[in-house]
Structure 1
Amino acid sequence: MATANAASKTTMQRFLDGVEKVGNMVPHPVIIFLILIGIVIVLSAVLGAFGAAVSYERINPDTHAVEQASTSIRSLLNVEGIRFLYSSLIPNFMSFTAVGLMIAAMIGAGVAEESGLVTALIRKLVIVSPSWALTYILAFVGILASIAADAGYLVLIPLAGVAYLAVGRHPLAGLALGFAAVAGAFTVNMLIKPLDAVLVEFTNDAAHLVDPGRSIGLASNVWFSIASVLFLTVVVAFITDRIIAPRLGEYDPAAAEGGVQAQGATLSEQESRGLRFALYGLIGLLVVFLLLTIPSGAPLRNPDTGELIGNSPFMNGLIALIMLIFLVTGWTYGIGAGTLKTLAEVIAAIEKSIKNMGGTIFLFFVLSQFVAYFTYTNIGTVMALSLSGVLQAANIGALPLLIGFIVVVAIIDLLLTGAIAKWAIFAPVFVPLLMKLGVEPEAVLAAYRVGDSPMNAITPLNAYFALVVGFAQKYDKSAGVGTIVSLMLPYVVLMFVLWTGLFAVWKALGLPWGL
């Protein structure tokens, strides 16, 4: 990887170089997860033999009733465990939703990329945006991308790399910027998204243990979320411009397989016509979706409540809209620019994008086994409950307890990345505990959002971490796990510390969390 001149490097840059060097000495990600699978199997057998278990209260995700539960370590080397190892191989992979999301997104993205739409759009963005604003625009859009669930990982991150390359900056800095924005701020947005509905519902179930009449709404964290989006946009952009980009230095296209060249910002007449055609295609598609969503009783509204934003077919299937936007605009761009003229060429573009994912799909196969085995053993759940018990027993004030709660959630996020699964465990413990100390449930949920996000950008259990490694190798064939870890460490540390600081100030000033 091309880096800044050694003589001008700061202590932090030299430290990150060391992290990258050590990290890249580890084996291929597939081998890493095979080793981790072996560790989980052995560890489950040892802990299971000692009868490690923990009792707790949790919210039943189906009935939303608080119930007593007990979790013990389940061995993968006893009769039941061996049966699970053998019989779950294919179900584990088939239920790994990241695979389906990735393939669906790449159907559209492949057409958009092959037609030249992606490059033309990025160059148009470069033309109309001041150079200083590009980083901030990408960070802002990346944070908002969580409205489309995991689609931001598949769309925004590679686009950020292309955008940086288009302006002559190091594309790995663009990838790091995109990953930090999408993953590190995943639980906040300026809009209400499906995840909010689930988190709020679990929060209310837990709050009713103390006060049956106390409930919060979907917008209960909206002011804090909006402030967090704006604050983190500045933080991510600052880290990129002041730490990541200087460390990487000038980009050498020869580092990539076959060389990758930045293209000029000027658009040709064919490209301009293609963008106009793409705009027409986008407008036509949006008209169709407006007819499917806006009228009362529209097919994509919730059939029971009429809701559109929240729990509705539209929001639950948003990846389909993302796919169609890229597919339609990519094809119409190709017609206008003359790059994709026939349906056969469109199909060929889709096939090419799917073929290029062969290595990633195999990695996801191994990763899905590790996630399933780790979940089956209950190791992560027992660890989470043990840490929460220690924090619950601590005799400290409300704000220190909230900050301690944020730290515990962040630690556990390295092992349990699912926001809903963790909140189902933490909510009935910490919401009642803090309410008894005079802390409103909105504040507890806001604290959970802070703790649950930044670590997503560094944990290898994030299903898309390995995918980002693949994106990086497009620009630097020597890039590996260590490269991504060293790039993301400054984001993770500073986002966590500064965002926690914002939360503490917000709480100390008594500012409203939302509506």
Structure 2
Amino acid sequence: MSASNTAPKTVMQRFLDAVERVGNMVPHPVIIFLILIGIVMVLSVLLSLFGVSVTSEVINPETNEIEQNTVAIRSLLDGDGIRFLYVSLIPNFMSFTAVGLMIGAMIGAGVAEESGLVSALIRKLVIVAPGWALAYILAFAGIMASIAADAGYLVLLPLAGVAFLTVGRNPLAGLALGFASVAAAFTVNMLIKPLDAVLVEFTNDAARLVDPNANVGLASNLWFSIVSVLFLTVLIAFINNRMIEPRLGKYVPDKSSETYEEPAAAKLSAEESRGLRFALFGLIGLLVVFALLTLPPGAPLRDPATGELIGSSPFMNGLITLIVLLFLVTGWAYGIGAGTVRTLSDVIKAMEKAVTGLGATIFLFFVLSQFVAYFTFTNMGTVLALSLASVLQTAQIGALPLLVGFIVVVAIIDLLLTGAIAKWAIFAPIFVPLLMKLGVEPEAVLAGYRVGDSPMNAITPLNAYFALVVGFAQKYDKNAGVGTVVSLMLPYTVWIFVLWTVLFSIWKVLGLPWGV
């Protein structure tokens, strides 16, 4: 790494250095996924020949009755599999939502960055916030960014690296802190977000298998989520300050690199200050417009059927649009005030520059989307998840150990199936009724799922944004690779998983309310 540290290294630091060296020996991520595609093809053929399958109970959506459902491994090289491979190449990529989110977010973020708004805001934050508080502020912002779905990956991660660089701290540490806060705590927030509506819907369907009158509300995990946000904010910042930064040491930039940028002075110029005022005016104007579109009864962005604003309303489902406009409007307004963006052509050029820089990532996403689609087609992830669930289901243990075992199973499966919704669709009909029969409220099962689902997101290369983090890391260290990111994120993953599970267990033992 581009750092110097003469202090003796601890056993853990030496272990992480070894993880980094081994990890960086692996091939390019595209090659990795091509190899994984080959492995999935071979395994799908072998497992299907041996008739590997698993049977579980599911809910018939038409009759609302329990039925037996058998899921078998499907071969990618039989007739159906070959037809799927042939016709799905482009649909697999087009349905990979991470691509659209990334391009959309970068269009707005590109204007904000090119105009100078991002740099000015970070330096303003550095001036206003005490140095000791920077890690805590960024960790909190990263966790709260999940309200905008995946946009936090694209916005907060690069900002965290630049913020650390601006104050003379190692930008790789800032990048790791941002990634941990966005990815490893993705399922909790202090606000109700679109993901909650989907998770609660699956929970209610599963709970009604035992109690037809069961009803879990959108805020059923709110108290646990709020405490988790505060707890994880402190934990993530502590890990950064005590483990990650001491290992990385002082950052020594490679000034000969084409990507090297001289850190801007912390003090803001008169033009930059005027630009920030213009950006504030633009933000206020945008908020007024969205207030008119959301607050009045019957407003266009409310749910047309129920009139609700929170939940599955157009406003919540389209939050990425608000994020794009937020950066576009404030970036353009800043540029006008600071004199850095004067015409519409300047805005368009900033957008083009942002999208142009995504070429390598888009190609990687193309290959990654094929792997995800092929893996899903084979049913291997579903069979594995149901098999592990069956083991826990038949284990003669108490409710709390079963809950902890459930959290562990979710974490293991998250290394292969990173989608929070897809996994809960599999697990909810199994574990919610099982634990309800043991006297466990469905809210507790959902809270346990939140704990198990997130921490592994920070170390699995199957996370759609993992490769993006590798790219961000290479901006500060041209030798950075998969091993670099894994070694940075491993302490976060381990400690967040362990201590968050402990918090969950204490909450359950004390009988505290999970939410409203």
TM range (shorter): over 0.9
> What secondary structure, in the 3-state scheme, does the structure 2 residue paired with 1:215 have?
coil
Instruction: Tell me the alpha carbon deviations over residues 478-510 of structure 1, each in whole angstroms, 9 at most, x when there is no partner.
Output: 111001000000000000000000001111111
Who is 2:400 aligned against? 399
CA pair 185-62 structure 1, distance change in 2 beyond 3 A: farther
**2:478 aligned residue:** 477
Structure 2 residue 136 is matched with structure 1 residue 136 = yes
Deviation at 1:476, TM superposition (A): 1.0
Distance 2:55 2:510 in 1: 37
Q: Which residue of 2 aligns with 1:298?
A: 299
Deviation for aligned residue 1:257: 3.6
Whole-Å separation in 2 of the counterparts to 1:15 and 1:458? 16
State the match for 1:101 in structure 2.
101
Match for residue 71 of structure 2? 71
* 8 Å CA contact 2:332, 2:347 repeated in 1: yes
Does 2:44 correspond to 1:51?
no
Equivalent residue number for residue 348 of structure 2: 347
Q: Extract unaligned runs of 5+ from structure 1.
A: none
1:265-284 CA-partner distances (Å, limit 9, x unpaired): 10001100110111111111
Q: Distance in 2 between matches of 1:275 and 1:229?
A: 29
Following superposition, the deviation at residue 61 of structure 1 comes to 7.5
| TM-fit CA distance, 1:200 | 1.1
Distance in 2 between residues matched to 1:157 and 1:396, nearest whole Å: 41
**Contact 2:4–2:252 at 8 Å: present in 1 too?**
no
* SS state at 1:339 partner: coil
Q: Distance in 1 between matches of 2:70 and 2:387?
A: 12
Q: Within 1, Cα distance between the matches of 2:341 and 2:65?
A: 55
Alignment of 1:65-464 (within 5 A): 66-254=66-254, 256-464=257-465
Helix, strand or coil at the partner of 2:244: helix
Shift in Å, 1:208: 1.2
Matched length: 515
Distance 1:295 1:136 in 2: 36
What amino acid is aligned across from residue 227 of structure 1 in structure 2?
V
Instruction: Kindly state the Cα deviation for residue 64 of structure 1 after the two structures are TM-superposed.
Output: 7.0
Paired AA for residue 115 in structure 1: S
Q: Is the 8 A contact 2:5 2:250 kept in 1?
A: no
Alignment deviations for residues 398-427 of structure 1 (CA, whole Å, 9 cap, x no partner): 111100000000000011111111111111
The answer to whether the 8 A contact 1:199-1:420 is kept is: yes
Distance 2:443 2:174 in 1: 34
Q: Deviations over 1:27-79 (max 9, x none)?
A: 11011100101000111011011111111123467987654321110000111
Shift of 1:260: 2.9
> Contact conserved, 1:65 with 1:205, CA < 8 A, in 2?
no
Task: Give the Cα–Cα distance (whole angstroms) in 2 for the partners of residues 304 and 483 of structure 1.
Answer: 49
Alpha-carbon distance in 1 for matches of 2:106, 2:74: 37
State the alpha-carbon separation in 2 of the partners of residues 394 and 4 from structure 1.
51
Query: Shift of the alpha carbon at 1:213?
Result: 1.8
Q: Classify the secondary structure of the residue corresponding to 1:328.
A: helix
Change (3 A) 1:59 1:343: farther
Letter of the 2:318 counterpart: G
> Identity, % of aligned pairs?
78
Measure the CA separation in 2 of the matches of 1:462 and 1:210: 34
State the alpha-carbon separation in 2 of the partners of residues 162 and 33 from structure 1. 30
- Alignment correspondent of 1:512: 513
State the SS of the aligned residue for 2:413.
Answer: helix
TM-score calculated relative to the size of structure 1: 0.98
Residue aligning to 1:20: 20
**Matched-pair contact (CA < 8 Å) for 1:66–1:428:** no
1:471 partner amino acid = F
Q: 1:58-101: per-residue Cα shift (whole Å, max 9, x none)?
A: 34679876543211100001111111111100000000000000
Deviations 1:241-263 (A, max 9, x none): 11111111111111754423322
* Structure 1 residues 100 and 39, CA gap change in structure 2 (3 angstroms): same
Structure 2: distance between partners of 1:415 and 1:258: 33
1:29 aligns with 2:29: yes
- Alpha-carbon distance, 1:2 to partner: 2.7
Give 3-state SS (helix, strand or coil) of 2:254's partner: helix
Counterparts of 1:498 and 1:348 in 2: how far apart (Å)? 46
Q: Tell me whether 31-40 or 57-66 shows the greater mean CA deviation.
A: 57-66
The answer (yes or no) to whether the contact 1:2–1:249 under 8 Å persists in 2 is no
Question: SS of 1:470's equivalent?
Answer: helix
Counterpart-to-counterpart distance in 2, 1:146 and 1:414 = 20
Partner Cα distance (2:449, 2:259) in 1: 45
8 Å Cα contact 1:61-1:424 kept in structure 2: no
**What letter matches 2:456 in structure 1?**
M
Please say if residues 189 and 226 of structure 1, whose CA atoms lie closer than 8 Å, have aligned partners that are also in contact.
yes
Residue identity matched to 2:57: E
Distance 1:83 1:222, change over 3 A: same
Give the corresponding residue for 2:501.
500
Distance change in 2, residues 1:387/1:119 (3 Å): same
Equivalent position amino acid for 1:233 in 2: T
Give distance in 1, aligned partners of 2:66 and 2:358: 43
Shift of 1:304: 0.3
Rounded Cα–Cα distance in structure 2 between residues aligned with 1:212 and 1:3: 60
Q: 1:43 to 1:339 in 2, by over 3 A?
A: same
Q: In 2, are the aligned partners of 1:189 and 1:229 still within 8 Å (CA)?
A: yes
Matches of 1:65 and 1:100 in 2, distance apart?
38
Give 1:4 shift: 4.9
Question: Is the 1:3–1:247 Cα contact (8 Å) retained in structure 2?
Answer: no
Which one-letter code corresponds to 1:508 in the other structure?
Answer: V
State the TM-score, normalized to the length of structure 2: 0.98
Find the residue that maps to 1:254 and give its secondary structure. coil
Letter in 2 for 1:363: L
Question: What secondary structure is seen at the aligned counterpart in 2 of 1:304?
Answer: coil
Question: 2: distance between equivalents of 1:285 and 1:61?
Answer: 41
Contact 2:57 2:69 in 1 (8 A): yes
Cα distance in 2 between the residues matched to 1:12 and 1:495: 17
SS at match of 1:264: coil
